[in-house]
Amino acid sequence: MPSDDRRPASIAAQAAGDIEPVSGAIIPPIFPATTFERNGDLTYTRGYSYSRVANPTDASAAETLTQLERGAETLLFGSGMAAATTVFLALAPGAHVVVPQVMYWALRSWLAGFATQWGLRIDFADMSDAAAVQAAVRPGETRLVWAETPANPLWSVTDIAAVAAIAHQAGAVLAVDSTIATPVLSQPLALGADIVMHSATKYLNGHSDVLAGSLTTARQDALWDTVRAVRVQNGAVLGPFESWLLQRGLRTLFPRVLWQSASALELAQRLAAHRGVEAVLYPGLPGFPGHDLAKRQMQGGFGGMLSVRVKGGTEAAIAAAAKVRLWKRATSLGGVESLIEHRASVEGPASPIPGDLLRLSVGIEAVEDLWQDLDQAIGQT
């Protein structure tokens, strides 16, 4: 059946779906080879020459993502950071870019540090406010607008269609970090974005055992050619074992993300009524500023990430995180096990994140167990 006729959940379940031609195996083999045979006339009929350029295991995981994002091509990277920074490195020094004020912390630090020294001119804008993005872009000068939605760790929502129109009118492209939404809940390319990025370390792999990243482009163009060249030259590629594990994880992407979203919504609603909680940040709650937009732009749920502002400030938040038993105190997100983290202490004094905030990554455990653990941990503070 041609991939166009299959629904995304079916594409994911069969991970691009090819039967291995030699044995008939229903899952693909791992090709650890770094180098591939050249013909007598110096050509490569099969398309593979050297593993830093392309590897067949990597290619089949990438194809699954291309189909899920309905893009033209996907490139896999050794981490989400490698994927994201490659887009910025593909711009010439001196290029103007507009990025979010609140975003994944390590990328924000890289932009403020390395990318600035390297010569990018960077403006940080409120990506949840289209007027602020409009004011920040410089027609003819801005080359890239970067958005993350929902954005770590306040889960503010960007209007992808509106920001894409603003970027395009200014002569820029829009890249969206869709790590939190995943292709299950949102398709940024269909809304007008030019490139979609994932930390595949998170939901796409889903088992906290692979570090990986991806970029998917809406079309083949000059910027994408440069992205591909920077990736290969920097060697920011994903190894075949990791690619294979990622593809295995992708098979269960839909049930995991839908389950995690349902549990996150349930926990957000209960936490919002908890006596120890000041506020719950979650796009699925009707009172949340980005809720109506998220309802329009996401389907099937609002994601597995939420944050809680605990009554009693920084100390109460750290104390609550110390009391959990089932939730694990750890960084990262998107795995099957639930994680809790006090972001302000991780990010340090320059962090814009309030001290009373705990970030929750909801896993696939029984939601009643997750609730009871949070209730006892926050209740005692």
Ligand X SMILES: *Cc1c(COP(=O)(O)O)cnc(C)c1O
Between residues 107 and 358, which has the closer beta carbon with respect to ligand X?
107
Q: Which residues are catalytic?
A: 52, 104, 177, 202
CB of 35 to ligand X, least distance (A): 27
CB of 331 to ligand X, least distance (A): 9
* Residue type, position 11, single letter: I
CB of 230 to ligand X, least distance (A): 16
Is 243 a binding residue for ligand X by CB under 6 A? The answer is: no
Q: Which one of residues 63, 69, 177, 373 is an interface residue with ligand X (CB under 6 A)?
A: 177
Q: Which one of residues 211, 268, 285, 362 is an interface residue with ligand X (CB under 6 A)?
A: 211
x/- map, 103-122, ligand X, by CB under 6 A = -x--x---------------
CB of 107 to ligand X, least distance (A): 6
Residue whose C-alpha is closest to residue 347's, from 126, 108, 119? 108
Size of the site for ligand X (CB under 6 A): 17
Between residues 84 and 280, which has the closer beta carbon with respect to ligand X?
84
- Answer for the pair 54, 270: CB distance below 8 angstroms, yes or no: no
Enumerate residues 312-371 that contact ligand X by CB under 6 A: 333
Enumerate residues 75-94 that contact ligand X by CB under 6 A: 79-81, 84
Between residues 86 and 170, which has the closer beta carbon with respect to ligand X?
86
x/- map, 9-28, ligand X, by CB under 6 A = --------------------
Between residues 79 and 307, which has the closer beta carbon with respect to ligand X?
79
Enumerate residues 143-172 that contact ligand X by CB under 6 A: 148, 152
CB of 197 to ligand X, least distance (A): 7
Between residues 12 and 238, which has the closer beta carbon with respect to ligand X?
238
CB of 290 to ligand X, least distance (A): 16
Q: Which one of residues 199, 208, 216, 243 is an interface residue with ligand X (CB under 6 A)?
A: 199
3-state secondary structure the chain: CCHHHCCHHHHHHCCCCCCCCCCCCCCCCCCCCCECCCCCCCCCCCCCCECCCCCHHHHHHHHHHHHHHCCCEEEEECCHHHHHHHHHHCCCCCCEEEEECCCCHHHHHHHHHHHHHHCCEEEEECCCCHHHHHHHCCCCCEEEEEEECCECCCCECCCHHHHHHHHHHCCCEEEEECCCCHHHHCCCCCCCCCEEEEECCCCCCCCCCCCCEEEEECCCCHHHHHHHHHHHHHCCCCCHHHHHHHHHHHCCHHHHHHHHHHHHHHHHHHHHCCCCEEEEECCCCCCCCCHHHHHHHCCCCCCCEEEEEECCHHHHHHHHHHHCCCCEECCCCCCCCCEEECHHHHHCCCCCCCCCEEEEECCCCCHHHHHHHHHHHHHCC
Between residues 150 and 276, which has the closer beta carbon with respect to ligand X?
150
Which residues contribute to the site for ligand X (CB under 6 A)? 79-81, 84, 104, 107, 148, 152, 177, 179-180, 199, 201-202, 211, 213, 333
